[in-house]
């Protein structure tokens, strides 16, 4: 049977396939055929191994003896016919389950893929975009773990601590989109602004954050790192009638890209107890502030400051960093840059004398307390920045109007669940559908923009995204369907596995709010329907 004949036969049972081109049907059919063969072989092997372990191999010995006896008692061509018939009868039961499961898989998978393809193709601006992520797990390669950003973790902490942290690290991810503090003009009752502290050198890429009056000399660097370089440091400022000017978040901007997740910064000294490992909702570990000031700097700056301060301390044991250094720097900063500062000064950017080491110091949100730092990572797992979260602006400055206002409906998007278009596209609706997918009440969800979105650093445009369950687990599989800019060369679909719900929500929120498509260079290509590519 040729591929064309097989495709024609298989798709007779799928009415939706009439909307697909022969080439599209052939490619989908090839994907399903590969999956069917894999299922058949795996199940057959499992059966043979199970029977062997159960009987100790006796049953196979007796089957061989029976075959030999038949061969002895029969002669000529009749001998081969009898042996063939005996083999079919003897081994036929082993093929029943693999054949049945393969057939069930083929029919269900074929129908599901055709339905998905047609549901996308009805409104797609390019004909080949109709293959809406049809290949999940049919062409699956190595698992991608970019969001773990393992290359940024220093190997200087105990293995036991690191192993425990690896199990629970994502529970501590910041649920707040800290980058939005630097983008929005107003959050609740607070007007938002951005304060630029200038370019700061990070010579080693190992970061410390602390109260500079108390812990600058011995603060331990975080395990996570950034590439060495010179980066801007900015402050998200909130201003309200009741609280005045407050610094809500400090940021070292490494790449300028929007984070897909915010991972809690850790030094390796945190006490990870059995309660941390229990699975409940977590809080955070942070650094203490006793003087109302915080700083973020490179490890090289800490060492340079210690040398500088030791020289001064050797000359005068009565000095302290705040009264004999920082106080004057704060007042001078206010005289030069009064915006977003009190008269006594709220920030300064200082270079350690005789070095190139920068030390930015700034007021710490509500003053004394404990504050967490987070490393932001994009969808490809590359570090985008480092954030110190001082104030939960949404919670602390929410007003009645904000709380009672209707949720934003993203009118430039359409949402389909199992091929049926929904009436509204809101994050609440999307979260409900993600829950339905995880619970098995829905197979997949498709989001389509009214106008294709440009993919950064690429010649392709995003025409849809699709989310489905990751092989029946509580994690998700995320697909992005793209077409080429300016020409109809066919669909190229990228996929990523093992995503938690909060990661999926962040990716979708970035798409809906800012038209930011995930970085796809390190994603797996799960279906290629370009006209110049053959399967």
pLDDT band at 127 (very low <50, low <70, confident <90, very high): very low
pLDDT band at 280 (very low <50, low <70, confident <90, very high): very low
Q: Residue 143 and residue 179: Cα distance in Å, rounded?
A: 28
pLDDT band at 74 (very low <50, low <70, confident <90, very high): low
Does 276 score more than 90 pLDDT?
no
- Helix, strand and coil content of the chain, in percent to the nearest 5, comes to 40, 25, 35
How high is the pLDDT of residue 399?
A: 64
Q: Tokens 């939706």 belong to which residue?
A: 16
Does 134 score more than 70 pLDDT?
no
Read off the pLDDT of each residue in 453-464 and give the average, rounded to a whole number: 84
Does 439 score more than 90 pLDDT?
no
pLDDT tens readout for residues 488-521? 777 889 999 988 888 898 889 888 877 788 878 7
How high is the pLDDT of residue 151?
A: 41
Does 106 score more than 80 pLDDT?
no
Helices (H), 355-399: 393-396
How high is the pLDDT of residue 180?
A: 92
**Torsion angle defined by CA atoms of residues 152, 158, 161 and 166, in that order, rounded to the nearest 10 degrees:** 30
How high is the pLDDT of residue 472?
A: 73
Q: Residue 289 and residue 280: Cα distance in Å, rounded?
A: 27
Residue 363 phi/psi, 5-degree rounding, is -65, 150
**pTM for this prediction:** 0.52
- Mean pLDDT value across the chain: 81
pLDDT tens readout for residues 371-417? 999 999 998 889 999 999 999 998 888 764 544 456 677 878 889 88
How big is the CA angle at 34 (ends 33 and 38), to the nearest 5 degrees? 115
Read off the pLDDT of each residue in 169-186 and give the average, rounded to a whole number: 89
pLDDT band at 20 (very low <50, low <70, confident <90, very high): low
Does 4 score more than 80 pLDDT?
no
Does 140 score more than 60 pLDDT?
no
Helices (H), 415-535: 427-438, 501-514
Does 460 score more than 90 pLDDT?
no
Q: CB-based burial of residue 303 (10 Å sphere; 0-12 exposed, 13-18 middle, 19+ buried)?
A: middle
Higher-confidence residue of 115 and 56: namely 56
Q: How far is CA 280 from CA 129, 166, 276, 474, 505, in A?
A: 41, 16, 8, 16, 20
Does 181 score more than 80 pLDDT?
yes
DSSP assignment letter at 326: I
The rounded percent of the chain whose pLDDT value lies above 70 is 78
How high is the pLDDT of residue 274?
A: 54
Higher-confidence residue of 347 and 283: namely 347
What one-character-per-residue DSSP string does 435-447 give? HHHHTTS-SEEEE
What residues contact 524, with CB distance under 8 A and at least 6 apart? 140, 141, 142, 144, 494, 495, 496, 497
Cβ(373)–Cβ(386) below 8 Å: yes
How high is the pLDDT of residue 410?
A: 84
Cα 322 from chain centroid (whole Å): 42
pLDDT tens readout for residues 23-58? 667 777 778 888 888 888 888 888 778 877 887 777
Question: Helix or strand or coil: residue 362?
Answer: strand
Residue 509 backbone zone (phi > 0: left; psi -120 to 50: alpha; other: beta)? alpha
Give the pair of three-digit tokens for residue 19. Answer: 């909307």
Read off the pLDDT of each residue in 196-214 and give the average, rounded to a whole number: 96
Read off the pLDDT of each residue in 309-328 and give the average, rounded to a whole number: 94
What residues contact 208, with CB distance under 8 A and at least 6 apart? 216, 219, 220, 221, 222, 296, 297, 298, 299, 301, 302
Q: Residue 28 and residue 7: Cα distance in Å, rounded?
A: 9
Cβ(255)–Cβ(384) below 8 Å: yes
How high is the pLDDT of residue 302?
A: 97
What sign does the CA torsion over 467, 470, 471, 475 have?
negative
Does 77 score more than 70 pLDDT?
no
Strand order in the sheet with 207-210: 207-210, 293-298, 358-363, 347-351
pLDDT band at 70 (very low <50, low <70, confident <90, very high): low
Higher-confidence residue of 471 and 402: namely 471
Read off the pLDDT of each residue in 98-104 and give the average, rounded to a whole number: 82
How high is the pLDDT of residue 502?
A: 85
Question: Helix or strand or coil: residue 145?
Answer: coil
How high is the pLDDT of residue 116?
A: 61
pLDDT band at 156 (very low <50, low <70, confident <90, very high): very low
What residues contact 485, with CB distance under 8 A and at least 6 apart? 454, 459, 460, 461
pLDDT tens readout for residues 333-370? 999 999 999 999 999 999 999 999 999 999 999 999 99
pLDDT band at 247 (very low <50, low <70, confident <90, very high): very high
DSSP assignment letter at 173: S
């Amino acid at each position: 049977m040729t591929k064309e004949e097989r495709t024609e036969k298989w798709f007779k049972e799928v009415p939706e396939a009439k909307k697909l081109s022969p080439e599209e049907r052939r490619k989908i059919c090839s994907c399903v055929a590969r999956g069917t063969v894999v299922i058949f072989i795996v199940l057959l092997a499992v059966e043979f191994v199970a029977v062997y372990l159960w009987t100790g191999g006796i049953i196979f010995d007796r089957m061989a003896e029976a075959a030999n006896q038949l061969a002895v008692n029969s002669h000529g061509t009749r001998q081969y016919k009898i042996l063939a018939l005996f083999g079919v009868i003897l081994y036929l039961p082993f093929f029943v389950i693999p054949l049945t499961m393969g057939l069930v898989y083929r029919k269900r998978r074929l129908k599901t893929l055709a339905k998905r393809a047609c549901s996308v193709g009805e409104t797609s601006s390019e004909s080949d975009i109709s293959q809406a992520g049809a290949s999940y797990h049919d062409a699956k390669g190595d698992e991608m773990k970019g969001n773990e950003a393992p290359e940024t973790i220093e190997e200087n902490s105990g293995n036991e601590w690191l192993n425990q942290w690896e199990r629970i690290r994502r529970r501590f991810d910041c649920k707040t989109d800290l980058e939005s503090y630097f983008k929005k003009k107003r959050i609740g009752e607070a007007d938002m602004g951005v304060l630029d502290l200038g370019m700061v050198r990070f010579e080693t890429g190992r970061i410390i954050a602390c109260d500079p009056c108390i812990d600058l000399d011995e603060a331990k660097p975080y395990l996570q790192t950034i590439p060495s370089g010179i980066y801007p440091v900015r402050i998200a400022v909130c201003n309200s009638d009741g609280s005045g000017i407050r610094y809500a978040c400090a940021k070292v901007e490494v790449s300028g890209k929007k984070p897909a997740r915010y991972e809690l910064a850790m030094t390796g000294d945190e006490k990870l107890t059995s309660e941390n490992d229990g699975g409940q909702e977590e809080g955070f570990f942070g650094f203490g502030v006793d003087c109302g000031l915080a700083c973020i700097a490179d490890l090289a700056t800490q060492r340079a400051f210690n040398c500088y301060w030791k020289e001064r301390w050797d000359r005068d044991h009565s000095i302290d960093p705040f009264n004999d250094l920082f106080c004057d720097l704060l007042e001078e900063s206010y005289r030069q840059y009064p915006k977003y500062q009190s008269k006594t000064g709220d920030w300064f950017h200082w270079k350690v004398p005789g070095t190139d080491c920068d030390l930015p110091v700034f007021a710490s949100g509500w003053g004394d307390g404990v504050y967490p730092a987070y490393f932001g990572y994009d969808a490809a797992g590359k570090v985008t920045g480092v954030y110190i979260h001082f104030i939960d602006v949404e919670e602390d400055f929410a007003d009645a109007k904000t709380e009672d206002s209707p949720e934003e409906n993203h009118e430039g998007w359409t949402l389909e669940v199992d091929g049926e278009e929904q009436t509204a596209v809101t994050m609440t609706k999307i979260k409900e559908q993600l829950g339905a997918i995880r619970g098995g009440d829905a197979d997949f969800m498709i989001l389509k923009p009214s106008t294709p979105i440009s993919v950064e650093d690429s010649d392709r445009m995003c025409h849809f995204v699709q989310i489905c369950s990751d092989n029946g687990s509580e994690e998700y599989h995320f697909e992005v369907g793209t077409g080429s800019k300016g020409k109809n060369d066919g669909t190229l679909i990228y996929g990523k596995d093992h995503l938690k719900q909060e990661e999926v929500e962040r990716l979708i929120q970035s798409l809906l709010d800012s038209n930011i498509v995930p970085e796809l260079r390190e994603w797996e290509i799960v279906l290629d329907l370009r006209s110049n590519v053959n399967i």
